[in-house]
Structure 1
């Protein structure tokens, strides 16, 4: 086979790179979405416990640790700030010293370990007990930022980023990872909303339902429709018609006089619309009402 020139050979090599496998090159059976399933499992279960504890820590500090409200809120703020800010250190450790899997496993022990409750019972009080609580929460925070700093990158390493298929798979990976993080809130909200709709529908036999009919918005729209239809009629004729129908010529206004034309006149005002009652006109100066039949 004749040798290709440099430019053609480069094109062939580039086309080969565009069709690289989705997983890691040279490691058959590894990488890809099959490997990320384990990452999804940890993200879903770890986020469940972390979010549940986060929303109740203020009550825990107030009710169990007997902190006042400002101290409880400040402690939670410092804990959350350090937890999410120091994830950069977790990523640095996984890049420079340990691989990402070992980093996650190492810091996971720091996240879940704690001293037995009977060990310090009755031995610490006052400021020392507060220091113990902060250190105890600090270990959980350190474990969390170590895990979260390396775990997303661990899943991203399972895809070959050289080809277009790998790039699309990488985007899908992060989308599924975000779903695993927030699935608890969406699931609980969806189930709760569905139950609420079922309860609302179950009360149908007990409701006194109002039949749909006229609406204030329709009446306001009728004002403008009649004003446009009667825009060329002279005002004296409108005033006489108003007096003959309502006996109240005071309903005619000098300001916004264009809307005075909304008064239905001639022989057709009794067939479709008529002047509103006194109570309605006291609320809406220019309005027409559907005639009762």
Structure 2
């Protein structure tokens, strides 16, 4: 059984505009000035990290991700100011008070102990620096509830039982509590985007690149196809396709913490 999913930059890139909107909304709330050093923890295939050059064109920007496939896909975006490196967010450290901005977008939801990591992130910021976080908060949506239900059934459960399918993530108030205690001024909020996705069984294509990936990658090839067919049929019923597309309500949680 695979112990971690093999991420697909191509599949993740499906619906890139919809996936990128929360990142842009997050970055717009960063108020730190004179930015020269930026780290993007969980940079994925690099396209969103590259947009940070628009906000801080002279800054040194580093994208870090634990997936070799994602880091390989990100390399074409690299230049004199932007680089990418392999690394695990749970093990990442930086010299104290050295960074202007840390961004972590759609990454910490995979880390059960994420709140324990936040003090270390804040310590890596210089006074006035900012930690900007965005995570999905849709663990109770039909897309994920159906996934957990199927993954708990045999014959799938034998292989999928060790995959991370936690529906619970911190809410905005949790981030305020932890980051305020670290001496930050915190702006935290949540919103639900209503995406009108194009294509057949669009929600299946969406989750195959993210939330369903660990389960799908845990299954043997033949069983994976069987699971995907059953899961896809149930998703198509839960998210019916309309003439204008398929509506996917997607809750997102944000926290922007500026170090005093």
TM-score range, shorter chain: under 0.3
| Higher relative contact order, chain-length normalized (CA < 8 Å, sep 6+) | 2
Q: Which has the larger radius of gyration?
A: 1
**Larger fraction in strand:** 2
Normalised TM-score (structure 2): 0.18
Normalised TM-score (structure 1): 0.17
